[in-house]
């Protein structure tokens, strides 16, 4: 039987070595479209996190009781069902936020990120382990999209969490950080989204390379194990 990695190591690998957005470049459509603000990114990131976590808990049972020829259709129906449930929940509980990000929630059913996770999970994975792996992948996506959304909002308006009232009714959590008169409104456009993503990836890769040369603790790209 194949030995499953420790939960903390799995989470660290999902966040750092194999981040679905910043390393594998999966699911970029909704990431680039929704990350115009920190709150929009937080909303879609939370929905994706929930979907991956629940799916991770269900996958071991589905794989164990499904014929190989029927696995892909069953996975597609399961993912679509979970996405529909989350879509309806978002409509009923956070309609203002749904008006901004709702068009991308049903599309999660066909997102390459989720299907890649579903098909790569080991056959001998237990439900609890699947749940932890799904949570690790979902939290990595969540962190990446919130980082990008916060960066774009900050460069565009000089503040973050300006529209938190979409999640918490009547909330005024605007935090001004850049007190300048002119901001980079270009970042809110589609080309600006690609540029901002490229800058974030370049900064992260540069930081990783710098720490590697200094002998800092990093995640080995081949073995997936911490090394000096």
- Number of domains forming the structure of the chain: 1
Mean pLDDT value of segment 56-82: 89
Domain span at 203: 8-227
Mean pLDDT value of segment 25-52: 91
- Token pair 């080309």 in the structure block, residue: 191
Catalogue the E-assigned strands of the chain. Answer: 159-160, 175-176, 218-219, 226-227
Share of the chain above pLDDT 90, in %: 35
Report the relative pairing of strands 175-176 and 218-219 from DSSP bridges: unpaired
Contacts of 130 (CB under 8 A, 6+ apart): 56, 57, 58, 59, 60, 121
Residue 137 in any domain: the answer is yes
User: Could you tell me which residue, 228 or 175, shows the higher pLDDT?
Assistant: 175
Residue 93 in any domain: the answer is yes
Residue 80 in any domain: the answer is yes
CA distances from 133 to 65, 125, 181, 217 (A): 20, 10, 44, 23
pLDDT confidence tier of residue 3, bands split at 50, 70 and 90 = very low
Residue 172 in any domain: the answer is yes
Residue 2 in any domain: the answer is no
Residue 114 in any domain: the answer is yes
Mean pLDDT, all residues of the chain: 83
Residue 1 in any domain: the answer is no
- Token pair 């309806």 in the structure block, residue: 88
pTM of the model: 0.82
Mean pLDDT value of segment 166-180: 83
Residue 3 in any domain: the answer is no
CA distances from 47 to 42, 51, 57, 107 (A): 9, 6, 16, 12
């Amino acid at each position: 039987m194949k030995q499953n990695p420790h939960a903390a190591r799995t989470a660290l690998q999902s966040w750092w070595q194999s981040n679905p957005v910043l390393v594998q470049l999966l699911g970029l459509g909704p990431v680039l479209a929704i990350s115009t603000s920190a709150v929009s990114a937080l909303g879609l990131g939370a929905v994706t996190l929930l979907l991956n976590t629940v799916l991770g808990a269900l996958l071991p049972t589905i794989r164990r009781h499904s014929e190989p020829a029927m696995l892909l259709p069953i996975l597609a129906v399961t993912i679509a069902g979970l996405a529909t449930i989350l879509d309806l929940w978002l409509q009923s509980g956070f309609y203002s936020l749904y008006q901004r990000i709702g068009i991308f929630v049903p599309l999660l059913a066909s997102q390459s990120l989720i299907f890649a996770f579903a098909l790569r999970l080991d056959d001998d994975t237990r439900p609890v382990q699947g749940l932890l792996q799904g949570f690790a992948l979902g939290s990595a996506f969540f962190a990446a999209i919130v980082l990008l959304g916060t960066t774009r909002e900050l460069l565009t308006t000089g503040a973050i969490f300006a529209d938190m009232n979409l999640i918490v009714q009547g909330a005024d959590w605007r935090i001004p950080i850049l007190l300048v008169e002119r901001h980079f409104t270009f970042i809110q456009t589609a080309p600006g989204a690609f540029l901002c993503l490229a800058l974030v990836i370049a900064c992260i890769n540069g930081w990783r390379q710098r720490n590697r040369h200094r002998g800092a603790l990093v995640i080995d790209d081949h073995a997936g194990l911490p090394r000096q």
